[in-house]
Chains A and B, each alone.
Chain A
Amino acid sequence: MTTNTAKIIAKDLEMRFEDKHLFSASKLVFEQNRVIHLQGDNGCGKTTLMKLLAGFYQPTKGKIYAEGFAIAPWWRSNSITGKALYLHQHPYLFEGSVLYNLTYPQRFLTADKAQLQARTEQAIDKAQLRHLLNQAASSLSGGEKQRLAIARAWIIQPKLLMLDEPTSNMDKHSQHLVLQMITDLKQQGTGMLISSHQTCMLTKVCDHAWLVSDKTITTDNVSTLKDTEPTQVELAPALQVSAG
């Protein structure tokens, strides 16, 4: 069945680094209108999975493809890179001011300039960055950097967004601001994959869960698991996705 929902699909996925088998999965669907909590212990491959879906890495086996996105013009490649926005655990900010970093991706967008300008203004307020706009981005604290990176994503309003351990650098205040932007994006239909090895303020917005454990990625609906510690989750065998 063909729908207009933007999604990234990984089939018969296997990821290895040299001889080390990281994980396998027979099918993963990351799509709009779903917020997924990616769980797993440190070093289990959560970041690698996200980078695979972002198109930065090639899987050892299997294929990853996108559906429901506009076809790129002939002079641009149709790779999956750029389809799902990936935010690093420690966001990278370009040399320059906070404003430069906020507006950096707008040159690659075809959206209406006035609309982008209006969203930028809203994002500045939501992330409480107005007093920092002309400051060098490199001088921001960890939480401010994270807020800036998420505000930048909020302006773009991506169809799919991946946040890698977003709360690792943030105090409660920053977490609240980010939660507000994430909730907005969820309401706008952005599909999100939020990695965290523990539950936090942001993972509460998740309605699905993927668990990377024992070299296997398991998917399930998080609504049935909300009160359970992620590491203790027992997943229904019928929903287990494994390509062992």
Chain B
Amino acid sequence: MNEGWLALIQQALSLLFSLDPEVWSIISVSFAVSFAALAITLLPSMVLGFLLAFTRFPGRWLVTNLIQTLQSIPTVVIGLLVYLLLTRMGPLGDLKWLFTQKGMILGQMLICAPVLVAMSQAAFTSVDRRAWETSRTLGAPKLSAIWAVCRELKVPLLLAIVAAFSRILTEIGCSMMVGGNIAGVTRNIPTAIALETSKGDFAQAIALGLVLLVLALILNFALGTLRGKAEPRSH
């Protein structure tokens, strides 16, 4: 049994290090789609988080709770929603994005936006108000003061980005429904792992799983280092 496992891991590593085109095509689809979704969503989500933390308007409570709720919606439900939007009969059917990377990006945007908004709102809410006031009183224009506040919050904001990226890189429900798991086009790491496991081809599934594991390790160690460097603040 142990020898079988070792052989599988050996095969998996060989697939990765021999730059197997199929494995690396899957990895590149995964990263391309998830990076695009994150890049498009990042700024508007952070701005919304900032506004929810610093402004008061009617319905703010409702919006905040709605975003909290959206965080916990299963990705397969978001997949279903995007599928219904993009299907030929759906309101966005003319875009012909179903079973394309664009469709997957749209789905992943809907998955990562609530995480980014909620976590950045929490970060901005926790900020010491004196950071904003000090920056402004020292002559900083509003945008520079916002940047100064973000700089003070770099750890919680990066944590929000990492959490959102992890969620979309590893989600399977939406990618499977909207992307359709088409080899070389929409097959990403989670859908490929599910497929290869069902086929009994564990080596490829393990190789792809290792990529996710290594990425998780790198991100967490990097964040841990950053968090360790950040000095606790006191009066």
Contacts and interface: CB of A to CB of B under 8 A. Distances in A.
A105 interface: yes
Contacts of A123: none
B132 to A, nearest CB: 9
Interface residues of B, number: 22
Contact of B137 (A54, A76, A136, A138): A54
Contact of A92 (B130, B144, B230, B232): B130
A189 interface: no
B231 interface: yes
Interface residues of A, number: 28
B138 A95 contact: no
A48 B152 CA distance: 25
B133 A95 contact: no
Given A82-B139, A86-B137, A108-B141, A94 B130 contact: no
A92 B231 contact: no
A209 B144 CA distance: 35
A82 B136 contact: yes
Nearest to A152: B138
B140 A94 contact: no
A95 B144 CA distance: 15
B148 interface: yes
A56 B148 CA distance: 17
A88 B134 contact: yes
Contacts of B231: 95, 136, 138-139
Interface string B117-156: 0000000000010110110111111101000100110000
Contact of A156 (B139, B144, B152): B139
Interface in A108-135: 108-109
Interface string A32-62: 0000000000000000000100111000000
B140 A108 contact: yes
B56 interface: no
Contacts of A91: 134
B230 to A, nearest CB: 7
B233 interface: yes
B235 interface: yes
A156 B138 contact: yes
A108 B148 CA distance: 13
A163 to B, nearest CB: 12
Interface string A76-115: 1100011011101011101100000000110111000000
A56 B134 CA distance: 10
- Max chain A C-beta neighbours (<10 A), residue from B138, B230, B232, B233: B138
B30 to A, nearest CB: 34
Given A108-B139, A108-B144, A109-B139, A94 B131 contact: yes
8 contacts: A81-B136, A82-B137, A92-B130, A94-B134, A95-B230, A104-B138, A108-B139, A156-B138
Interface of B: 128, 130-131, 133-134, 136-142, 144, 148, 151-152, 230-235
